[in-house]
Amino acid sequence: MKDFFSKLLTGMSIGIVVSLIPNALLGEILKLLIPHFPALQPILDITVIVMSFLPVMIGVMVGVTFKLTSIQTASIGIAAMVGSGVVQKTAEGAFTLNGIGIVINTGITAALTVLFVQFLGNRLKEYSILLMPTLSILMPGMIGYSILPFVKHSTGLLGVAVANITALQPVLMGALISVIFCIIILSPISTVGVATVIMLSGIGSGAANLGIVAAGVGLAIASYKANSLGTALAHVLGSPKIQMRNFFMKPKIAFPMLITAAVLGALAGVLNIQGTPYSAGFGLSGLVGPLNYINLADGGWTTKNITIMLSTFFIIPIGLNLVLIYLFSKKLKMIKAEDYKLQFD
């Protein structure tokens, strides 16, 4: 069971990062450039469409991680898409892509389909290419589709719980929300989904965004020795979710990031750092968080706002994570570089 869960999270992590990185890297920058260079609009549109391929990518990468056959892997990909809710039918009968779907339900559907195709094995023989994709849709795919409303509702309840915290005074609220989103970004639950469901905005969004920054920056620093530079940067430029497997196996690896998140969240309340539901889910990816803060701050690109942005989104997360990672690894001996090793082969 532990090996199964580990492989599932590894596959999900890779699929999530591969699907989200193009828009994360280019999205906000293209939005700034498009008014002056309209020809860039198709590139932005394509990166948004690629994000909606996330369920298929999760399914395929889960299949690859389990070392399944090509037909089995493709079957998991289409079943995961069915269970994700990413495709919706309009009143006019047209089919549309709806964001990235419900990530946790995508993972559940992928897990069920892995068990299903493993159970079938070679039983279908030469009929595998005909029957396995269809059966994967009809059985695990439709199970995932059936439970989608309940999983979506549960995710919504989590969002409501986060929203209730905003009723507290700003500093404590900021610290709590920041820590919560620092944990959510390391789970199969979509931070964008939670933030969008409750329309998290203002200081709540700014604090949530800084929680993701704390996770991304901290994990990039902590994982550098165990991984390549590119992989380390993927925690910041892509998503900290690539550490899902390691986090679930050893939750203590996130202690430095959680403390950093609490500090940054409190600062969000003190300094009135705000954001939108979208920025609450992406952190530093594509500079979504910093740019949204500047756009919402009084005065825009003033010296004061730029200083606050550089301090809270870059200087403090880097400095505080460095100190805490050193403390937890060298002094307390609670974590080591190998804990953050990622297996992408």
Per residue of the chain (345 residues), give pLDDT as tens.
Answer: 778 988 888 888 788 878 877 887 788 788 889 999 999 999 999 998 998 998 999 999 999 999 999 999 999 999 999 999 888 888 888 888 888 888 889 989 999 999 999 999 888 888 888 899 999 999 999 999 999 998 888 877 776 777 677 767 889 999 999 999 999 999 877 777 677 656 677 888 899 999 999 999 999 999 999 998 888 998 988 789 889 889 999 999 999 999 999 999 999 999 999 887 767 877 887 788 898 899 889 998 999 999 999 999 999 999 999 999 999 999 999 999 999 998 765
Q: What is the DSSP letter of 275?
A: B
pTM for this prediction = 0.72
CA distance readout (Å), 285 to 240, 291, 294, 299: 10, 11, 15, 24
CA distance readout (Å), 193 to 49, 168, 232: 17, 23, 25
Other CB atoms within a 10 A radius of the CB of residue 330 amount to: 10
Contact, 40 vs 31, CB < 8 A? no
For residue 95, what are the β-bridge partners? Answer: 89
Class of residue 154 by CB neighbours under 10 A (exposed 0-12, middle 13-18, buried 19+): middle
Q: What is the DSSP letter of 253?
A: G
What is the model's pLDDT at position 13? 76
CA distance readout (Å), 17 to 11, 50, 271, 328: 10, 11, 31, 27
Q: What is the DSSP letter of 252?
A: G
What span, in angstroms and rounded, lies between the C-alpha atoms of 122 and 24?
Answer: 41
Q: What tokens does 283 get?
A: 């952190």
What is the model's pLDDT at position 219? 96
Q: What tokens does 184 get?
A: 């959510």
What span, in angstroms and rounded, lies between the C-alpha atoms of 205 and 35?
Answer: 26
CA distance readout (Å), 14 to 8, 165, 231: 10, 32, 11
What span, in angstroms and rounded, lies between the C-alpha atoms of 191 and 241?
Answer: 10
Contacts 24+ apart (CB under 8 A), 33-37: none
